Each structure stands twice: as C-alpha cells, then as structure tokens.
Chains A and B, each alone.
Chain A
Amino acid sequence: MSKLHITRRTALKGFGAAAGTLAMPSILRAADQVKIGFIAPLTGSEAILGIVQLQCYQLAIDHLNAAGGIGGREIISLTEDDETNAKSTIDKTRKLVADDNVDLVLGTLASFERTAALSVTSRAKKLFIYPTYYEGGDCSPLLVNTGQVPNQQIDPLAEYLTANVGKSVYVIGHDYIWPRGSTEQLKAGLEARGGSLAGAEFVPFGMTDFGPSFAKIKAANPDIVSFMLVADDAITAVKQYHSFGMKQPLVFHAWDEVSLGAVTPAEQAGILSSQGYFQQIDSPANNAFTKAFAEKFGADKPINYIGVSVYQTAMLYAKAVEKAGSVEPEKVVAAISQVEVDGPIGVMRVEAGNNHAVLPNYLAKVNDSAKLEILQKNEPKPPVTSCSL
C-alpha cells in the first residue's frame, strides 16, 4: 500500500522534473546550481559534535553565498541528520543521492557512518567528501578524505610521548574500527621509537563502570594511559579515571573544545590531545574565522577541529568546482588535487594518488581551568594511507 503511494509520488516528481527540464535549456540549468547534501549526527550520542559540524557548514555556505556562490553557480544546500547510526546514515544518504540528486555528499563523523554513506555514494557514482580524522585505509575513486590520518595525528603523538612522557602505553577504546585501527598505528609509532603497547582493551558502547578496566591497567603498570572512546562513555571514563586517582598521565587524542564543557575542570586537567586544529591557534585566517563564528553563533560556543574541517573542506570543494568548471564528480576529483585553500587549519590540499589531505598537527594539554593549551606544532605532512587509487 505504502509502496504504491511512494511509487506514484516518485513518478509524479519525475514528471515534474521532466517538465522543468523541458521548460528551460538544460545547459543553463546545469550551469546554474550546485547541490550540496550535508549529513551529520545531529541527534543521538554524537550530536554535540555533529552540531558544531553543522554550524561550521552553515558558516561556509554563508561565506560562499556572500561571494556569489561557487563559480557563479547558486548553492542549493540540503541538510540531513544521520542520528548517529549506520541505518539512518544509509537511508539519508540514499535520499540525498536518489531523491535530491545532489552533486556532493559532505559530512559524517564516526567511521561507521562514513562506511555506511560510502556504500551508497560509491554505487551511485556520487562524490563523497569525509572531513573528519579517522583510522585511514579508505580509498575509493569518488571519495575524498580531508581529515587527518594516523601518520599525521597519532605518529606525532607517539613521538611526543616517547620523548617526553614515557615508553609504554595502555589503550582503552570502544570496540569498533576507529579505536582498533588507531591502536595499531599507535603501537607501530611507539615501537619505531623504542616504546611499546602495554595492553589494549576494547569495550562495548554503554559502559557504566570502568573500575575493572582500571584494575587491569594497574596490573599492567604502563607509563601512560590512552583513551580511544567516543560519545557519552568517554565522559564516564574521564570522570572515573580522575576519581580513581590514577597515576599515569592520560592521553585522549579526541578530547577537544566541545569536550571541555562536559566534565569539571579538575576531572580533565592534564589530558593530552592531538589534533589538526585547536581554537587557540593564532593566525589571521583562524582569528577571522573564530570572529565570524562568534558573531553568528555566540562567543561561548566551542569550535573544534571536527567542525572547522567541515568549513575548510567546503571551501576546498568550491575551489575544485571552479577549477573544473563543472560539478561532475570525476572532473571535481581530478581538479581537487590541483587547488589549495588557506583557512583556519592552515593550507589544505589533497594528494592525487589517494585523495587524502596534507595536514599539520598540534599537541595540546588541558590546563587547570579547562582550556586546551598548545604544546607543540608539527608542520604539514603528506598522508600515509594503506590504500591507493
């Protein structure tokens, strides 16, 4: 019954589109618009991060529209909520690709969302740009990754830890691909410098007590503890780590400006983070960005790397479309490695061989008043991915 209804509606839409196409010359219509489908976790357990992604995306669209669109084309923007789960990500990506016929799918946050979205876009031959740091290893002809991969984010961390903090690291992570993949990379980075992985435990989502995990850490007696947890459980873990008075320094490379408001200053003091951007960066481009962000959303709203990367990625896409003179996925992908864009993150450019970005890294530490202070900057490095095109 409902199936019939949808079919009829889709058919009507088809007629409508056909009539529209007949009404105006197709070349004009195609040259007129860029349709961007933005998808992020706006509800569910990753919503606090997804909302910053959305804000930064909106700011990018504002700035591009103020400059007259992309290469003279009007931007049509569609936003979808992937609800922090794989099924909704697939459903919403299908909607963007099949119903809305977008030129670009931009977004997603967790790796399971990326995998879900890619399964739809790659079959539909649509361009998909993933702007978040991840464990690496995903190459696909029409996929562009503009976030950090482990050699850019985790390797500098391993280098810093072995030189300044200690040699052995114990990891507690969630049981899925991002923590497992990142742990492998951390292990390699430590071992290359005479360090070691003292142990790793991967826990299911919805943990309420980390007491037994901490007992295992005490037994392993590492120099450093590293969390690779996401969403709400990360908060539980940080709170309990503090309450147990654990002596090992805590590394949590995903702890960012958004996390700072989630626990008390005492509970997070000393956490080491490692990302491609921190709000504190003092550069003309970042100062202009943070000012514009504060004007639109309020000075008290946090900005993090996950969000800023969406902003700068949208800018990079715009340049690629201008360069290609087309919104056709193949042409845009070919052009995207020939352009670069300076922004809050610094100069961002994509390498042609694997469609991953060249990016810098920053190490920061949470101080006693719950602020991230940058300790060290690593200059931009080319991505090392275990895949190629």
Chain B
Amino acid sequence: MPVKGFAVYFELVLNIATTVSVLMLIALGLAIVFGLMNILNMAHGELVTVGAFTVSLVQVNGGSFWLGVVAAMAVGAALGVLLERGLIRFLYDRPMGVILVTWGVSLIIQQGLLLSFGPSPQIVYTPVEGSIEFFDSAYPRYRLVLIVAAFLTVAVTGLIMARTRFGLDLRTVIQNREVAEILGIDTRRVFMIAFAGSSALAALAGALVAPMTKIVPTMGAEYLAPSFFVVIVGGAGSLAGTVAGSTLIGGLRTVLDYQVPSTLSQALVLIAAVLVVRLRPRGLVPA
C-alpha cells in the first residue's frame, strides 16, 4: 500500500513536469519577443502549429521524427525572418499595428493550412513507443523525452542569452536601443535574429508536442492564451520568470485536476493568476 501511494505521487510529479514542460516550451519564444522586445505576436500559436505540421510532413515523406524536429525549427526560423523583414520591422513603434498585423498573419496561416491539408487531423508517429513501468504503474516514455527536451531547450536559450556575444547585444538593445546603436551594434540584425530564434522555438514546441496531441490548423490558438498568461504571471522580460510562471500555472493546474473537475480547475487557476498579478504586478520574477 505505501508503495502504491508512492507511485501515485511519482506520477503526479511527472504529470506536473509534463504540463510545465509544454507551457515552458511554448512560452519561451513568447518571453523573448513579448517579454524582451515588447512585440505582441498574435501568430505565435500558428508558429507552433507550423512546427507540428512540419514533423508530420517529414514523416509522411519517410523522414524520422528527429529530422522533422530539426526541419520544424528551420521552417520556423525562416518564417520568423520573413515575418520580421516583411512586416514587423516597419511596426516597432506601433504596438497596436503589430497586434493587428500578426493577428492577420495567424488567420492566413490557419486558413492556408486548412486549404492545403484539409480539415482532417495530421498524423505523427511518436519516436519512442510504449511506457515505462514503475511500481505497478505505467508512464509514457515519450513524456520523459519531452520533459528532458524542454529543460534542455530552456537551459540552452538561457546560456545563449547570458553567455554569448549575441545575448549580450540583445540585452543591450533591449535596455537602450539608441546607446546600443552608438556602441556599434546592428540593432536591426539583432532584432531579426531574436525574432527568428523565437519563431524557431515556437515551431520546436509544436514539433515536440505533436506526438501527444491533435494536429489540426487551429491547434496553436489553444496555446496562445496560456503562454501569454505564463509570461505575464512569471514576469515579462526574464527567462527565470517564464520557468516560474510555467511551474506555478502548470503545477497548480495539474494538482487541481487531481482534486476537482477540470472545468473548475481551469477557473481556479485563472483566479490564482489574477491574484498573483494583483499582488506582484511585475510578475513572480521581474526582469
């Protein structure tokens, strides 16, 4: 009996880790463009969708899942460059314009996918089948892969921001664009790379969640609100905030899901988020 009880808690921890990982992966790109660059990218969810569709397409054509993940990041980055160079760079001074334009882009991507792939869901084969047995209970192997991948992604992004020349440039540009330009930093290039990077992260998130969810043109839209949520609760502008926000929202949601009906737990999480923002207006870990 105690062993059984332990298994239940172990599974709870893993379920929390899964939810936190998914939130973190999807919010990470948003934390960079919204939190750091102050761009409200409404098409962030559709970049997630594009990532999942890319994996499916690669698999249909005989490629492996991991090749699909790499391809998704490449497609995401390319779309990011296109978006930034083609639209967003003209709108850095017009935040409302950015909202409208990226919202339009999100609709175009959604309907474009619907027109080219049809309404039927796409299929993705998981790279690691089956589940791991522990104490008479089973947990999907792929979820463990997802958890590891999510934490690796956050760590790598954090390292790039803190330890590389590009990270330094980006932080400088964000703190004071004019001074950065005087110092000889090519701010346009820095923003373009940052936007491309965040789009690649969104597509990576889509690719990684693909084996455990539906793959339809509207899938990304469902992740947009929670990821904004995570960034605001966690504290816009810091990666630590994204981790903290994901942990609070994801952890609370999962623990509550065990206790009360999901409909109620969603509402309770929202109330908790409102309280956090009321008591700590700049988020859990402000920049």
Contacts and interface: CB of A to CB of B under 8 A. Distances in A.
Contacts of A7: none
Say which size band chain A's interface belongs to.
Answer: 35 or more
B67 interface: no
Interface stretch (B30-38, B136-144, B187-195, B278-286): B136-144
B131 A243 contact: yes
Contact of B120 (A206, A245, A262): A262
Contacts of B263: 175, 202-204
Contacts of A262: 120-121, 123, 214
Interface string B9-27: 0011011001100100000
Contacts of A47: 119
Contact of A215 (B11, B131, B211): B11
Nearest to A232: B214
B186 interface: no
A235 B123 CA distance: 10
Contacts of B131: 243-245
A232 B120 CA distance: 10
B220 to A, nearest CB: 11
B137 A218 contact: yes
Contacts of A203: 261-263
B119 A209 contact: no
Interface in B198-212: 209, 211-212
Nearest to B14: A211
Nearest to A50: B119
A266 interface: yes
Interface in A253-305: 258, 261-264, 266
A215 B213 contact: no
Contacts of A258: 120
A244 B15 CA distance: 11
B102 interface: no
Given A245-B130, A262-B123, A207 B212 contact: no
Given A203-B262, A240-B212, A211 B15 contact: yes
Given A202-B261, A212-B258, A232 B216 contact: yes
Given A209-B19, A240-B140, 5 more contacts: A201-B262, A202-B262, A233-B214, A235-B121, A264-B123
Interface of A: 43, 45, 47-48, 51, 175, 201-204, 206-209, 211-213, 215-216, 218-219, 232-233, 235-236, 239-240, 243-246, 258, 261-264, 266
Interface of B: 8, 11-12, 14-15, 18-19, 22, 119-121, 123, 125-126, 129-131, 137-140, 142-143, 209, 211-214, 216, 218-219, 222-223, 254, 257-258, 261-263, 266
In the A-B complex, the 7 residue pairs with the smallest Cβ-Cβ separation, listed nearest first, are A212-B257, A245-B131, A243-B140, A211-B15, A235-B214, A232-B214, A47-B119
5 contacts: A203-B261, A206-B222, A208-B209, A209-B19, A218-B137
